[in-house]
Structure 1
Amino acid sequence: MAWIGHLESENVDGQDFLRVIDRSTVEDPTTDRSEKRLTRFCLMAETKTMRKPVFTKIDQLRPGTNGHNLVAKVVSSKTVLQKGCPDGPQVRQMRIAECLIGDETGTIVFTARNDQVELMKPDATIVLRNAKIDMFKGSMRLAVDKWGRVEVTESASFTVKEDNNLSLIEYELVNVVEE
């Protein structure tokens, strides 16, 4: 199936119209500059395709890496910080919880922040998208920032391998000097 154009809604004198934007709009000399720029942007957005996420296992995580997609079960959750932070005229609640999550290959500590804390109930199955590895006192912690997503999904059938906790491994940063 070939791509033929993009529909754009326009309101003229209280009536809604749909206008088709296609490649000829860019080449038309009567089209103004801002409309051409908008058309080019729409054409680029329409041609971009999303790729399917690649899910990794916990035992494949390494220090300093990011962009991980994982399916894991929550083993335990413990709130470590809950306080109010002034945010202008109102007080914003800040919450941090350390959760042990795992899959069939191992476990790792996940640092849940604010709204993520409510999702981390024991035995819940979660999907982490665009997760990153943060280092805390030489050990790995998994985190999802504003560019990622945490979702609760239906219960998974795997059993968590609790004897392979990647957060218990201590790493040391070594500077190599070449001469």
Structure 2
Amino acid sequence: MATTAAQQSGGSKPAMRKPVFTKVDQLKPGTTGHTLTVKVVSSNTVLQKGRASSANLRQTRIAECLVGDETGTIVFTARNEQVDSMKPGATVVLRNAKIDMFKGSMRLAVDKWGRVEVTEPADFTVKEENNLSLVEYELVNVVEE
């Protein structure tokens, strides 16, 4: 008779939360934990450097990809193996994505705590007129008296 580790310890595994999918036009600066389904509009590699040592080949690749859904587009910064899945025309699910600020504009990124998954093609048309990465933000310090 096989029992799982959770049954043996007496406790149960905490229930996984259902992901709340957000739309591109709902993204705000400085926010994290987004789950989005987006289409890749374009992808271009901005950095590719490799350092070969005898033990391992360490490569750093960064690509800026324009991704979007039916509400708008945003620039997604893909790193290393994420670059491979960000092919133009592909539909991807970005899990636990965060907003990074770069030169006053928003960039979407997935760090080591998130995931980029290629999924079946979605049936929406990307609204390219609404590019959130073209909106420039300015950090204003509010002094409370």
Provide the TM-score with structure 2 as the length reference. Answer: 0.92
Question: Percent identity between the aligned chains?
Answer: 74
Alpha-carbon distance in structure 2 between the residues aligned to 1:62 and 1:98: 19
Give the secondary-structure state (helix, strand or coil) at the position aligned to 1:59. helix
Give the secondary-structure state (helix, strand or coil) at the position aligned to 2:17. coil
Residue of structure 1 aligned with 2:86, choices 83, 101, 120: 120
Map 1:74-85 → 2, pairs under 5 A: 74-85=40-51
Give the secondary-structure state (helix, strand or coil) at the position aligned to 2:33. strand
Matched residue, 1:134: 100
Relative to its length, the structure with more helix (as a share) is 1
Provide the TM-score with structure 1 as the length reference. Answer: 0.75
Unpaired runs of at least 5, structure 1: 1-5, 9-19, 22-38
TM-superposed deviation, 1:123: 0.6
Give the secondary-structure state (helix, strand or coil) at the position aligned to 1:167. helix
Which has the higher relative contact order, 1 or 2, with Cα contacts under 8 A spaced 6 or more apart?
Answer: 2
**Larger Rg: 1 or 2?**
1
Runs of 4+ in 1 over 2 A off after TM superposition: 85-91
Matched residue, 1:148: 114
Q: For residues 7 and 70 of structure 1, do their structure 2 counterparts lie closer, same or farther at Cα, with a shift above 3 Å needed?
A: closer
Give the secondary-structure state (helix, strand or coil) at the position aligned to 2:138. coil
Map 1:27-46 → 2, pairs under 5 A: 39=9, 43=11, 46=12
Unpaired runs of at least 5, structure 2: none
